[in-house]
Every structure is written in C-alpha cells, then in structure tokens.
Chain A
C-alpha cells in the first residue's frame, strides 16, 4: 500500500461550550490523503475541517480515533515528522510587532534552518522588499504569503492550508491558487481545506467532502462528481408539454427551467434528441449541464445545513 500523507480513522472531537453543553466537532472521521498533488478538504463552515487539521498538528487533542502523518502515528510521533509538514491554520499568526523577516528568522532558528533560507523564501513569495516591515502593517494577502514563506522554511513534503483565501481579493486568490498548484506539481502534497468549491476544483487532484465531522465522499474530482451527480441536459424545444410527455414516458425526469426543459437521467444527450425527433419535435438548443464539485458538494451536504454543529 502506498504511503499516505495523512490518514485518520474514527477521529472524534467534542467541545464543551461555556454553558457546559457538549458539541461534536468531528465524529468518526476517516480521511486518507495520498502523497503528491493537491487534495481538497471540503465542507461547510463549522463542519470540522479546522478542528481536524488542528488535531493532525497536535494543537487540539482528539477524544478518540487514530491519526497518522506519513504513516507515523500522531501526536505521539509528531516531532519525528513535523519537519516534513508545513501548515497555515486559519489566519496567519505571527508576532505582530516584529518584521516579517524577524518572524521567519526566529522560526528558522528554532528548527535549525540556515538564515539564508529566510531570504530565499521571502523572495519566493515576493516579500523580499517588505521583509523588514512589521507584520501588523501587512495586507491580508501579504500575511498569507508570509505564512506560506514560513511553511517553506522547512521545505516540507506536506503543506496544509486551512481556508487560505479567506479575505483575499481576486488577485490574491489567484496567486494562492497558483502557488498551491505549483507546489503540487513539484511533487509535494498540498492539503487545502476550503468551503469555496470553485477554487478547490481548479487545483485539486483529489478531494474529501465532510459534513458534521463525518466523511461524505472522497476520491478524485472526477470520481466524486461522477459518483454522485446525475447527467442533466438543458433542452430548448417549441412544445414544452408534448416534449415533457414524450421524455417522461421514456423514463426521464423533466423540469421546466424558464424557456428550457431540464432533463435528468439521460445516459447521453443524443437520447433526448432522438426520442423527440422520432415524434417530429425538433430541438433548437441542447446544452449538457456538467455536474461540478459545487453541485455535488451541495447535494452531499444538503442535510448538513450551512454550518455545522460547532
């Protein structure tokens, strides 16, 4: 069995609120992240993504279950693998009164990385000129880039980005996306958690979708889309009523959608045109509606609500 970058089994975490109520953040999460490429970790806000990541990094204690990074159980063996893992959990957190460079130097010194590496990662993340400025004077995008620079100090094999584009402008989002893609293409494993599907779909090779702290679907993007969503075709035809009767009698599901009909269940779009043409009804437009990650995500998490139970 190939080495997994991340593996969890039966992972569980509950929190106690200030009022003493217990809430389940993660319940029995089984997650596998293969090595290499970008893995999207998707779920609605509050579905347990950040808590799961925090548990993997030893920041939060799991109540039950097992976790492994590169086949080493964590948190017991975390010190042995931590040099292979770089992580940004939620917003970048550094010492605000220190410069970006100073923050990185302290981290580099703590792990015994040569100081020259600090200059290199600052250049890699286009922060070379602003390295001497205080962290608190940075824009959100710069803070995010500094956080990426910090993770690169270790030259990690696994990078964990938790909601990396939160609060960024479109240019910043694109920049982070390209960075993640580039890191994945370098052979590193990038685990990116997000509730913004479009950004993940563009870069992810594999995805896991969670809701209420449970795994709902996992696999390559194509597998997850294909395994969950059904083919839909958008049809423009003159006589909606007749067309609906013909297609329904053929076992397809038909819904009105403005000037179009939405037809579900057709194995191939040509099935629709053929059946209608046999009854001398001719299609003026036929648009295959491609199932995307967003629709799959919404379908899978429909019962989960917009937020989780945290």
Chain B
C-alpha cells in the first residue's frame, strides 16, 4: 500500500494538470495578497482633507439641529405601530466623530478570518478539480485497466489513489495558507494595525488554517471519488458545478431553513469553528399586516464536523464499492 501510494504520488506530481492547478492556486493567492495590500493603503492627504471638510459640516449640523432632531424622532417613535424598533435603533443622534469618516485602518484580526475562509474555498475547489482529473482521466484513457493487470487488488489501488491525493494536497494547502497568514500580517503590520494579535489569536488562526488544510485534503480525495464514479473529469466537474448551482444556491436560496444541511454552511462552520446563517421569519401582525424579520441562526462547529465527516465517509465508501465491483472495460 505504501509503495502504491508513493507511485501514485509521483504520478500526481508529474501530471500537467496538477502543475497547472498548483500554479493557478499560487497565482490567485498572490492576487489575494495584492488586493489586501491595495485595500489597506492609508488615505492620501487630499482624501484626509476632504474627510475633514465633510466632518466639520456634519458636526456643525449636529450642533445646530441635533437635539431638535432627537426630540422629533422620539415623538415619531411613539406613534410607530407594534412591533416597533427600539428607541436606540431608530433615534441615534450621537455626536459625530472624525474617526468615523473615511476608511478606517485595516485591522489584521478583523480581515484574516475571511481571507482564510476564502483561501480554504480556493484550496477545496482546486483539490476537488485535481482529484477528479486524477481518477477521471485514468478511467477515460483506459489506463486503469492496464494498471489493474499489474495490481489487481482493487481496494488497495483505490485507497492508494485517494491517499495520494489527500497527502499530495497537504503541502500545497500549507504553503498557500502560510502565505496568506504571513503575507497578510506583513502587509497590515506595515499599512494597518496588527494590534490585538495575541498568542491566543495566533493559536486560533493556526487551528483555522489546520482545519482548512484537512478540508483541502478531503476535497481532493472526494474529487477522486467522484472522478472514479463518473469515469470522466468533465463529468465529475459538471456534476459538482451542477450541485453547487442547483442545490447550494437555488435550493438553499428558496428553502432557507435547509441551510444547515448544505455543504457550504457546514464548510464555514468547520473552518470558522461555528457559523451563522439567516432565515426570514414571516408572520401576520395584529392589524392584519404581513411582515418578515430576518433571524440569525447558528450552525455549530460540531455539527459541521459531523456533517462533513459523514458525507466524506459515505462518498468514499460508495466509491470503494463501485471501484471494487464494477467491470473495467
């Protein structure tokens, strides 16, 4: 098994699509860092001057009409039908501050979670693509039949291919996530602020990156499973894309309560150690009006972990059954 896996790893690394995929992922990572650098640029002197002018105008207006506006708003609030927003929500006429105008400084701990999540999507997608091609092309070219005449123990062959994909994906994921973490830190340390990046914050970020690495490895293996089931790279990618569009986007959009059972939400829950989603809760009010409110719901880390583990195990088992039993022509 170890020998077979190492052979499959060598084949994986030697494939052109793997090389192209790795290059594309590294290029996108570079763009991500470039975008972070651009968005973290401090304001120019002209922009600061313009902000100062706007702030002074608004502050002057607040000094002249603030109390008057507050009183009028409170009066309006009292006449609002139930259910009405809180007074603080509706009437917030606090004194404007200069720091609220213009772009605030970029804070490392605020932007990095989303960057890590985005990178984990990128890695999972790339892993799936590389995995689907790795097995799909082997079936479509017929090379698998030749391979099986050298090693007929099919489950070993299947296991070695998935293991090679998962193991092969780890270094790429580690490099990309290290680049994102390190690169973003350096950029924001220079242009924004890294204050508050404590040892615990680094620990949390490392754990997040670790979970993203595992997810990328699993995505590569699952790509291999789908490639072997459909026996063609294009078919595997087509089915995956179809699922994302029809189920995750369309179905998930219409049936918002089904979101905890969508891959994307559980993906987020796993990477971010828990996530939230929103559902519209609609009802008829006492005066006969129909209104909706958006309610925030939570998907726990444990839910995401179990969901993804079950999906992974089921797909790998289904792929193993098909690989073991299916005639190879």
Q: Which residues of A contact B (CB under 8 A)?
A: 54, 57-61, 75, 78-79, 82, 85-87, 89, 91-98, 102, 106-107, 109-112, 147, 150, 154
B153 in contact (CB, < 8 A)? yes
Within 8 A of A (CB), among B134-155: 137-138, 141-143, 145-153
Whether B143 pairs with A58 at a CB distance below 8 angstroms is no
- CB within 8 Å for A110 and B152 given contacts A93-B143, A102-B14: no
Whether B15 pairs with A60 at a CB distance below 8 angstroms is no
Whether A93 pairs with B10 at a CB distance below 8 angstroms is no
Complex formed: what's the CA distance from A59 to B4 in Å? 19
Measured between beta carbons, the chain B residues less than 8 angstroms from A109 are 3, 6-7, 10
Complex formed: what's the CA distance from A300 to B327 in Å? 30
Measured between beta carbons, the chain A residues less than 8 angstroms from B152 are 57-58, 75, 78-79, 82
The 8 Å CB contact of A150, one of B7, B138, B146, B153, is B146
Whether B141 pairs with A93 at a CB distance below 8 angstroms is yes
Query: Distance (Å) between the CB of A73 and the closest chain B CB?
Result: 13
Query: Distance (Å) between the CB of A133 and the closest chain B CB?
Result: 15
Measured between beta carbons, the chain A residues less than 8 angstroms from B327 are 54, 59-61
Whether B150 pairs with A110 at a CB distance below 8 angstroms is yes
Nearest residue in A to B154 (C-beta to C-beta)? A58
Complex formed: what's the CA distance from A112 to B150 in Å? 11
Nearest residue in A to B326 (C-beta to C-beta)? A61
10 CB contacts below 8 A, A to B, read A54-B329, A59-B149, A61-B327, A79-B152, A82-B149, A96-B141, A98-B14, A102-B14, A107-B146, A107-B147
Measured between beta carbons, the chain A residues less than 8 angstroms from B10 are 106, 109
Measured between beta carbons, the chain B residues less than 8 angstroms from A107 are 146-147, 150
> Chain B: interface residue count, which band?
20 to 34
Complex formed: what's the CA distance from A76 to B325 in Å? 13
Measured between beta carbons, the chain A residues less than 8 angstroms from B142 are 91, 93
Complex formed: what's the CA distance from A61 to B328 in Å? 9
Measured between beta carbons, the chain B residues less than 8 angstroms from A154 are 150
Within 8 A of A (CB), among B1-28: 3-4, 6-7, 10-11, 14-16
Within 8 A of A (CB), among B218-251: none
Measured between beta carbons, the chain A residues less than 8 angstroms from B16 are 97
Whether A57 pairs with B141 at a CB distance below 8 angstroms is no
Measured between beta carbons, the chain B residues less than 8 angstroms from A98 are 11, 14
Whether A82 pairs with B14 at a CB distance below 8 angstroms is no
- Binary contact track B297-329/A, C-beta < 8 Å → 1, others 0: 000000000000000000000000000010111
The 8 Å CB contact of A89, one of B6, B149, B151, B153, is B149
Whether A93 pairs with B145 at a CB distance below 8 angstroms is yes
Nearest residue in B to A105 (C-beta to C-beta)? B10
Whether A59 pairs with B145 at a CB distance below 8 angstroms is yes
Nearest residue in A to B157 (C-beta to C-beta)? A110
Complex formed: what's the CA distance from A89 to B153 in Å? 18
Query: Distance (Å) between the CB of B180 and the closest chain A CB?
Result: 31
Complex formed: what's the CA distance from A85 to B146 in Å? 12
Complex formed: what's the CA distance from A92 to B327 in Å? 18
Nearest residue in B to A112 (C-beta to C-beta)? B3
- CB within 8 Å for A94 and B7 given contacts A54-B329, A59-B329: no
Measured between beta carbons, the chain A residues less than 8 angstroms from B148 are 57-59
Top 6 A-B pairs ranked by shortest CB distance?
A93-B142, A60-B327, A59-B328, A58-B152, A78-B152, A109-B7
Measured between beta carbons, the chain B residues less than 8 angstroms from A106 are 7, 10-11
